[in-house]
Amino acid sequence: MSMINITIDGKAVQVEEGTTVLEAARVAGIDIPTLCYLKDVNEIGACRMCVVEIKGARALQAACVYPVAEGNEIYTSSPAVREARKSTLELLLSNHKKECLTCVRNRNCELQTLADELNITEIEFEGEMCDLPIDDSSRSVVRDPQKCIACRRCVGACENLQKVHVIDALNRGFKTEIGPAFGKKLADVACVNCGQCIVACPVGALYEKSAIDQVWDAIRDPEKVVLVQTAPAVRAAIGEEFGMPIGTAATHQMVGAMLRMGFDKVFDTDTSADLTILEEGTELLHRLQNGGTLPLITSCSPGWIKFAEHYYPDMLDNLSTCKSPHQMFGAVLKTYYAQEAGIDPAKIVNVSVMPCTAKKFECDRPEMSDSGYKDVDYVLTTRELARMIKECGINFQECDGEFEQPFGPASGAGVIFGATGGVMEAALRTVADILTGQDLQDIEYHDVRGVEGVKEAAVEINGTTVKVAVAHGLGNARKVLDKIRAGEADWHFVEIMACPGGCVNGGGQPIQPARVKNWIDIRAERAKAVYSEDLRLPIRKSHQNDSVMKGIYEGFIGEPGSELAHKLLHTHYTPRERF
């Protein structure tokens, strides 16, 4: 590609043809403010916060969409540029619901940050306030239209990234509203609760439906035994809420903090990820050997499950019947663990800390109560757990703790569930040992790792070729499912995760501002944390986890795929209308 020579704020820069002014400024070490721009998600130049002055141009140009040309002289902070940005921001603030101190995004709000950086000390305009009500109809996501700045980043996430298309810009001008069509609420449309709209939103217009108060009430109740489990992706991101670098594994700090908060026992959901592999691997082998519906598609991601129920109901037979790991663990805790510990299961409150907003919907599904009790009572996101830790005044980085026995430590295979390709790799580690009858040492399947949207691999195991595919993000899931539906695929096993990058980039994870996400791939950085955990663990295969094999199976369920296993650990799915 040919190179172009330009000047930005007097600094000579050489960039590739097709580079935008925003990207060129980055090369020059110059930070241009943005608001609506989110790389690969929303690149529409609508908010005008990134305007720059280009010598010879008749008007200021949006840096995020304007491609540089040979010889351009660009000014990113001229008086005209600064005045335009401040006026734009003041207009946005003029009718914004200004409750910064009590907003869920206080101190992590891009609008608030820009107001500080642009030295906004007073708002000259008094705008007409939006009077639309809060939409809290969803079990997972809350919408506050009075805080919405119509940047359309949530729309970009829903339409361009996830291809779900349940929210859009409605009406025109001042009456523009972001939401479902025809005035419907989120609960009335085919929203899959993935929460990618939340992590795309620069302000507090979208947030998870909180379970913090209910969990505090349970912890304070002396009659309740409050058990908490944490998903593998939580440890890969929660440190960001306490100033730790992206990609830091904060396992021991997280466990120690939760014990100090007052939870009675802290368990590792990775254990039930190992349990999932045993059940799912058995299911795969059964379908391969007995002519079942193929490809088998993983069922760990509740956002993906609801997406399939709405958009691909004809393919529900392809889905594994396994519950997601935290729901499996919830059932085990209220049966096997309650029996072994001598606790009345009616007194147990199961709390899951998840990187996922869709699991809030999932835990309320009526089929998630085969033990006679609700498998999981409450789901907290990674962000909610961080808020609770901060509320207690706990110094997170100084905490230290270990997961509770008899369910820890889990295997490395369980840990890598948090990254795209992790479920597939964990399954292959076990299936390979079963098919060969050996304890194979070459267990890292790099073909299914990474952030490429769709990955394929053919794995030779003891003379059997197992063809697999991995997709993350529902836009990529559509590509895979359409190929299967058209009869153009010959895969045996497919992993799908609703969120781009997998659970490490779930809708409940810490929110990084656009100025970070536009230039750093947080999916890859957080994935490094789970893979590093895998490497340090002495057991790296699910079927070698004694707490699962000798505890749960030998001591309670019997064997993978048994009648009791199907009662407690498996489920069914429901075709749903789109509207």
Spot the catalytic one: 272, 299, 320, 411.
320
Contact 73, 97 (CB under 8 A): no
- Kindly name the residue from 503, 533, 541, 547 that is annotated as catalytic: 503
Active site residue 53: no
Domains assigned to the chain: 93-204 (3.30.70.20), 213-569 (3.40.50.1780)
Candidates 177, 367, 402, 444; catalytic one:
367
The helix/strand count (H/E) of the chain reads as 21, 17
Residue 127's pLDDT band, with cuts at 50, 70 and 90, is: confident
Q: Is 488 a catalytic residue?
A: no
Shortest CA distance to 306 belongs to which of 467, 430, 139, 443?
139
* 372 CB-side CA count, 13 A: 8
Question: Reading across the β-sheet that carries 378-381, which strands appear in turn?
Answer: 265-268, 225-230, 348-354, 378-381
Q: 235-267: per-residue pLDDT in tens?
A: 999 999 999 999 999 999 999 999 999 999 999
Q: Which residues contact 512 (CB under 8 A, 6 or more apart)?
A: 240, 246, 520, 522
Active site includes 36?
A: no
Q: Which of 280, 309, 384, 425 is catalytic?
A: 280
pTM over 0.95: yes
Task: Give the strand pairing for 378-381 and 348-354.
Answer: parallel
Which residue in 265, 323, 334, 359 is the catalytic one?
359
Q: What is the pLDDT of residue 408?
A: 75
300 is catalytic: yes
- % the chain with pLDDT above 90: 94
CA 16 to mean position of chain CA atoms = 33
Residue in the block written with tokens 């207690």: 392
Over residues 494-513, the mean pLDDT reads 98
Tokens linked to 557? 């369920």
In this prediction, residue 461 carries a pLDDT of 86
DSSP letter for 63, please.
T
In this structure, what are the phi and psi dihedrals at residue 266, rounded to the nearest 5 degrees? -120, 120
First to last CA, the chain: 46
Q: Which residues contact 134 (CB under 8 A, 6 or more apart)?
A: 142, 143, 144, 145, 146
124 is catalytic: no
Q: Tell me: the pLDDT tens digits for 23-61?
A: 999 999 999 999 999 999 999 999 999 999 999 999 999
> Catalytic pick from 208, 240, 362, 404?
362
130 included as an active-site residue: no
**414: CB partners within 8 A, 6+ apart:** 232, 268, 269, 270, 271, 272, 273, 274, 277, 325, 426, 542, 545
> Are 86 and 120 a contacting pair, CB within 8 Å?
yes
148 classed as catalytic:
no
C-alpha 132 chain-centroid distance: 28
Catalytic residue at 503?
Answer: yes
Tell me, what amino acid is at 497?
M
Which residue in the list 47, 154, 300, 499 is annotated as catalytic? 300
